[in-house]
Amino acid sequence: MKYIPFIALLISLNGFAQKPITKLDSFWTALQQHCGKAYEGIIISGATADFKDKQLVMYVKACEENRIRIPFNVGDNRSRTWVLTKKKSSITLKHDHRHEDGSEDTVTQYGGTSTNEGFSNMQIFPADLQTQKTIPAAASNVWWITINDSSFTYNLRRIGSDRLFTVSFNLKQPIETQLAPWGWKD
């Protein structure tokens, strides 16, 4: 009977030895739950002529352990893919832009990296050095993504300007999966 308290202590200590789930991990898991699904979206703020009267679709096409690729189609234009890469304590957002023949656009691979673990329902990505060099006007860009049970939003704010872009996708109503983006390679 003396051994029962010792065993109970070992069991309880073992529970503490497990790695706690971070807010970053919770965010990542929430995204991965949508892998293989597509959703239609609407512009909430900052609509431009490129987006007017076009179907907006995000397709969580590829989920790997540390990378999620989400094509964002604007009508028939399949040039855009959001690429999220998870590291131990941060997530990087990059924008992969392609031409119809699959070649990279001259303005591509811009974005930013979260500076902390963020929130379980939101990650924030200030412009990185590569973005500042590639697109000087975007040096003050901040992107953020939110996710909850009913919606996913992609947002861009250019600090010091009126520039704000927000597109929201209804996660309650998956739609038919989409064609692969231009230049897609599995």
Query: What pLDDT, on a 0 to 100 scale, did the predictor assign at position 14?
Result: 53
8 Rama sector, left if φ>0, alpha if ψ -120 to 50, beta otherwise = alpha
Closest CA to 167 of 151, 182, 149: 151
pLDDT at 1: 47
Specify whether the backbone of 185 is left (phi greater than 0), alpha (psi in -120 to 50) or beta.
beta
pLDDT of residue 50: 87
- CATH class for the region spanning 21-175: mainly beta
Supply the pLDDT for residue 15.
53
The domain ranges of the chain are 21-175
pTM score? 0.88
- Please name every residue paired with 151 in a beta bridge, in sequence order, or none if there are none: 170
- What pLDDT does 155 receive? 98
- Per-residue model confidence as pLDDT tens for the chain (186 residues): 455 555 454 445 555 555 668 999 999 999 999 999 999 999 999 988 888 889 999 999 999 999 999 999 999 999 999 999 999 899 999 999 999 999 999 999 999 999 999 999 999 999 999 999 999 999 999 999 999 999 999 999 999 999 999 999 999 999 998 889 999 887
CA angle 52, 106, 125 (to 5 degrees): 70
Instruction: Report the half-sphere exposure of 150 (CA within 13 A, side-chain side).
Output: 0
CA 154 – CA 169 distance, rounded (Å)? 9
